[in-house]
């Protein structure tokens, strides 16, 4: 049961990584739009801007922030790749589990099959599936 719980944890980590990656990409879009500036600002000549303007500091800060976000995004994508590979390897090993108890637990918790579908797949009765799941839940509480 520990292996299946670990698989579920990795699955949650993958979902969280995907959310983080999307958030970082959204932040990068905002910063990139800030760096572009309005169209009339781009047409200004450098000599027209006041010396030491706040725009200069904002631009530098935005570049630094963009660089920081790109590094975070790269790191998060590496973590996601690792977790996906780990999940794939674990799935292969979980499919090798023998014993009705493990197969039922995997079908119900990882594959998210109904009791009826699990019983059909494993060639057993729904009552047996229900009893084994109840036993597993009792053991997990202990």
142 residues of the chain, pLDDT tens digit each: 678 888 889 999 999 999 999 999 999 998 888 777 655 455 445 555 555 555 556 678 888 888 999 999 999 999 999 999 999 998 888 878 788 888 888 888 888 899 999 999 999 999 999 999 888 888 877 7
Contact yes or no for 20/76 (Cβ under 8 A) = yes
| Overall size of the chain counted in residues | 142
What Rg value do the Cα atoms of the chain yield, rounded? 26
Task: Tell me if residue 114 falls in helix, strand or coil.
Answer: coil
Task: Tell me the H-state helices in 37-114.
Answer: 39-43, 54-95, 100-109
Q: Is 127 helix (H, G, I), strand (E, B) or coil?
A: helix
| pTM of the complete model beyond 0.85 | no
Q: Residue 31 has which token pair?
A: 């910063």
pLDDT at position 50 is 54
């Amino acid at each position: 049961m520990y292996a299946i719980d670990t698989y579920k944890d990795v699955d949650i980590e993958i979902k969280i990584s995907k959310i983080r990656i999307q958030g970082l990409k959204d932040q990068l879009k905002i910063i990139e739009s800030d760096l572009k500036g309005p169209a009339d600002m781009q047409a200004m000549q450098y000599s027209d801007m006041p010396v030491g303007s706040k725009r200069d500091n904002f631009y530098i800060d935005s570049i630094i922030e963009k660089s920081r976000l790109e590094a975070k995004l790269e790191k998060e994508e590496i973590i996601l790749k690792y977790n996906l590979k780990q999940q794939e390897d674990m799935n292969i090993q979980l499919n090798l589990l023998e014993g009705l108890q493990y197969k039922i637990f995997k079908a119900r918790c990882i594959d998210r099959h109904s009791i009826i579908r699990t019983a059909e797949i494993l060639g057993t009765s729904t009552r047996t599936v229900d009893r084994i799941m109840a036993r597993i839940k009792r053991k997990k509480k202990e």
